[in-house]
Amino acid sequence: MQVLDTTIHASPKGATVEFVGEGGENIAVTMVVSNPLLGDAALVDRAREMMLQCATFSYQAEGDRPDGKADAGRPGTGRLTDTSHGPYTFEYREDGSVRRLEGVELPDLEAVRHEALRSAIDLLDDAAESRQDGWAVRVRGRDGSVVVSVDFEEARQERATAAM
C-alpha cells in the first residue's frame, strides 16, 4: 500500500494514527499515550514502529490452534506474562551505532519501561549522539522481539515534564 496521507486523531485516552492509501485502503494504529505532549511526528514514528513489530510478530496460522478453531490470522490475545519476556537485552543508539546490554533481569515490564525511559533521557545529554530522532532505547525479550521502545522525542517530553 502506498501511503498518500496520514491523519492523527487524539483523545484524552490516547491517539490513533491513520495511514490512508490509494484506492481507499487504510491502516489505523491506536495507542495509549502516557505523555499527552508528544508531537505529531513522534506519534507517527511510534505508529510505524508498532506496525513493523506486528509485521514480524509470529503467530499460529489459521486452523493451527489445538481446538481446531480458526484465529483469522490474529496474534494471540492472551496477556503476556512478564516471565515470558526476560532476561532482557537493552539496545542503546549511540554515535550512529547500537550498543547492546544482554541478560538484564528486571521484575516486570513496568520496570523495563522505566529503565528504558531513564536510559533514553541519559542519551539526550550524550553529545556523541548527533542525530537524536527515532528510537533511542529498545528492549528485546528472551525471544528477540521488541517489548519496549522509547524514542528521543518521548525522552525529551518526559525530561521536560520532570523538570516542572
Spatial distance between the Cα atoms of 33 and 3, rounded to a whole number of angstroms: 23
Spatial distance between the Cα atoms of 158 and 72, rounded to a whole number of angstroms: 38
Whole-number pLDDT of residue 80? 38
Per-residue pLDDT tens digits for 27-65: 888 887 766 677 888 888 778 777 765 654 444 434 444
- Model pTM? 0.49
Q: Furthest-apart CA pair in the chain: how many Å?
A: 56
Per-residue pLDDT tens digits for 66-116: 444 444 443 333 333 444 577 999 999 877 788 899 989 888 899 999 999
Across residues 113-124, what is the average pLDDT?
89
Across residues 109-125, what is the average pLDDT?
88
Question: 3-state class of 110 per DSSP?
Answer: helix
Per-residue pLDDT tens digits for 4-32: 888 888 877 788 888 888 777 888 888 87
Residue 101 corresponds to which cell in the numbers above? 546490554
Where do the structural domains in the chain lie, given as residue ranges? 1-59, 84-164
Residue 155 corresponds to which cell in the numbers above? 525522552
